[in-house]
Amino acid sequence: MRDRRACGSAAHFSRRGFLQTGVGAMGAVGFTGMTAASGAEALAGQQKQVVVFFLAGGVSQLETWDPKPGTDTGGPFLTIPTSVPGTHFCELLPYTAQQAHHLAVIRGVNTAEDDHGKGAYIMQYGHRETPGFQYPSLGSAFAQQLTTPSNPLPGYLTINGGGATSEPSFLGPQFAPINLSGTNPPANLKLPDGLVEEHDRRRRELRAKLSGRFVQGRAKAETEAYNGSFEQTAQLLAKKDVFDFTKITDADKERYGKGEFAQHCLMARQLVESGVTFTKVTHTNYDTHSENFNFHIEQLGEFDRPFATFIQDLAERGRLANTLVIVMSEFGRTPRINHLVGRDHWSKAWSVVVAGCGIKGGAVVGKTNENGTAVSDREVNGGHLFHTYYKAVGLDSSKAFWHEGRPFNKADPKTEAISEVLA
């Protein structure tokens, strides 16, 4: 995926041509390789997993989940019916519309933060930034709380960037994200040339013995984290086939479509099926201060088919029931169209989508007014969202983290889960 700003783009697409191509090809998203029922019962007791699709820059709610055609803010696009009677999406999402029965749309989000960094922090940490203190991110928290002790894989992986070593905060570096670039496996996954597995095993045994002597009579928090990093590396080396994305079939590549984001969705599916607890896929760039409509044709043209196929695959393979899927940005876009035919930052009334584990598919919660300038019903913020995420995977969001004898809330205690989207 290129990483360029929408404002400087010279790319223009034909709306009619795109829509004709998109709708005409919708049959290709059909799943043909597996039956739904066979895997569902066997997977019923597996650990909960989470996949976040982060649409960096701020995707427009009006060109996706909450269209307002025919209004002064609605723009040129129409709506299309979805697989849920009475629910419509923007016509730029023809494939995703057919999976709406798996999705719950939260249309009344007001995070009241129009800065990229601060908005992204709210959405990924559940709190506003606090000077001098770092909360654990959602990825690190879920990696720490959902990953079973027997799972040798890292708990938190990011695809196409977006992960920082600071994310675990006081939870410890073992819950930091491991970043995957392109379709490549993690760096340094193979043993150095000339080092055979037997020699590596003996080396690790010696290190463990020396570390065991060192920790006696000393504070263990730092040394345990240090030793844990070595153990995690050894486990990761033993499961390196998980990151062999060359195994993805040509038939699957055809179903998901072309482009980097399609590859990233296939990678995410493989990671889910391999048992990775938390996967974050970043799709960029939605910061459409100019040429908003042309850019959303392009960006959603890349997003729609792969995302819809990912949802359908997880459902038909019995994985969606135990996998929470979240589609988020740092905020939405302004209802008012600016002089550059763009939309600016807008956090007062926008949408987030959830699906899968613990979620009531087909639900639509919250409402914005006629032209999308304000939430008119069931307003929620980042705290409500985090309570909902925790509740969906079976965790108690009211139970605080403890660090140095102090409690730190997982989500704002003044808010609560959005019960209308929970199954």
Mean pLDDT of 226-242: 72
pLDDT band, residue 40 (cuts 50/70/90): very low
**β-bridge pairing 88-90 and 79-81:** antiparallel
Q: 74 versus 228: which is more confidently predicted? A: 74
Rounded to a whole number of angstroms, the distance between the first and last alpha carbons of the chain is 35
DSSP 99: T
pLDDT band, residue 31 (cuts 50/70/90): very low
Helices 221-238, 197-215: crossing angle, 10 deg rounding = 170
Q: What is the pLDDT of residues 184-229, one digit of tens each?
A: 878 777 777 888 878 777 887 787 788 777 777 666 666 666 666 6
Mean pLDDT of 232-243: 77
Domain 40-185+245-421 in CATH 3.40.720.10? The answer is yes
Mean pLDDT of 398-409: 94
pLDDT at 32: 33
Question: Whole-number mean pLDDT of the chain?
Answer: 87
What DSSP string describes 20-62? HHHHHTGGGG---S--HHHHHTTTTTSPPEEEEEEEETT--ST
pLDDT at 232: 66
pLDDT at 227: 65
Give the start-to-end residue ranges of the domains of the chain: 40-185+245-421, 186-243
pLDDT band, residue 12 (cuts 50/70/90): very low
pLDDT at 24: 43
For residue 198, how many other CB atoms are within 10 A of its CB? 8
Q: What is the pLDDT of residues 332-348, one digit of tens each?
A: 999 999 999 999 999 99
pLDDT at 280: 98
Interatomic CA distance for residues 21 and 18, integer angstroms: 5
Helix runs in 25-160, H state only: 36-40, 94-97, 116-125, 138-146
pLDDT at 201: 77
Q: Enter the pTM of the model.
A: 0.86
What three-state secondary structure class fits 93? coil
pLDDT at 38: 36
Q: Does the pLDDT of residue 233 top 70, yes or no?
A: no
